[in-house]
Structure formats: C-alpha cells, structure tokens
Amino acid sequence: MHYKFHIFYISMLNHCKIRVNSLSELRQGRIIDVDLLQCGERRRSVNSLTIAADFSEVDNVRQFFKESLHGLDISEEDFFKIELALVEMCVNVIRYGYPDGGGEISIEIREGRKRVIIEIWDSGVPFDPRDIPKPDLEEMIVAGQKGGLGIYLARELMDEFDYRHEDGKNILTMVKKI
C-alpha cells in the first residue's frame, strides 16, 4: 500500500527505509511515493502546532496534546507520562532556548503502530539534551535543589529520546510505545 506525502513530511520518515522516485524530485520538493510498510508504520494521524516560545502557551500545548490523542487507545499512565515529557521539553525551550525572548516552538504529534511520536522544533540556542548527565537525586534532595529534573524525567518516561540539529533548528524526537 502506498501513500502520497509532500516532501515536508519526509523528515517524519528519516528512520525508515523509503523509496522515492528520484533524488532530484526530493530536492525539488515534489510529491513523492513512500512505502510506509517498509518502516512498519501505519500512519493514522499527524497533528502540528506552532506557538510563541512563551510560558503563557503551555496550556495550549497541553490542550493540543489532549486533542491529538483523543480517541487513541492509550492508558492513563502513558498519557500522563507523554504529556509530562512534552511539557517539560517545551518549558526548557521557552526558558533556555531563547534567552533574549521571542522565538517559536513547533510541535508535531504522530500516531504510529502502537506508539506516539512527538517532534519538537525550535530555532533557539543549539542544545543537545542527551548530553546532560543523569542527576544525583540524593544529592539534589539533601541540597534542597529545586528544578533541574525536566530532561531527566523526559528521558526516563519516554522509550526513545533523540536529538539532532539541522538547518539551524533543534529537533527533539520522543517516542512512547503504547
């Protein structure tokens, strides 16, 4: 079975073996033919949102997430794990990605076969969250340290946590098997 997608969505399939008509068509942004069965995905829905990198937008992120997963057979526990990871990563972009203010965050939520895939894009300060070492929780408690657990929580709550920097954009991909 084949589906037609605009080249914009090719980034969604970057981990799949895909078949395209030709590299020149890919570079020109033409519609391409993608065999999704090669990557084991049955793509049911893709939802996207772009927000200002501002704390006032966090509730919009939560609402978008809730609407994106509406009707999906997912446990309450997994729902809240994914929501927490998404919100924590958006808060980090808002807090640290744009130190001079401004900027945008784009979020894409896809449902694959028995998994939820979230990609977060921003043009803020390049930052690979995978480079942050696992925190010493006992030391943090003894010191009374508040905060600093968002990245750790997101990595622990999600099944996959990947980062890349392309074309001036930070791209964080998180996957939760459901």
* pLDDT for 104 beyond 60: yes
- Is the full-model pTM beyond 0.95? no
What interhelical angle do 76-92 and 58-68 show, nearest 10?
150
- Percentages of the chain per state (helix, strand, coil), in multiples of 5: 40, 25, 35
Q: How many CB atoms lie within 10 A of CB 140?
A: 15
The pLDDT mean for the chain works out to 82
Q: Give me the pLDDT at residue 52, please.
A: 98
The residue ranges of every structural domain in the chain are 1-40, 44-177
Evaluate whether 174 touches 158 at the Cβ level (below 8 Å): yes
Angle 54-57-59 from CA coordinates, rounded to 5°: 145
Joined tokens for residue 159: 């099944």
Task: Quick: pLDDT tens for 18-67.
Answer: 434 444 444 444 433 333 433 444 445 799 999 999 999 999 999 999 99
Q: How many CB atoms lie within 10 A of CB 47?
A: 15
Top CATH class, 44-177 = alpha beta
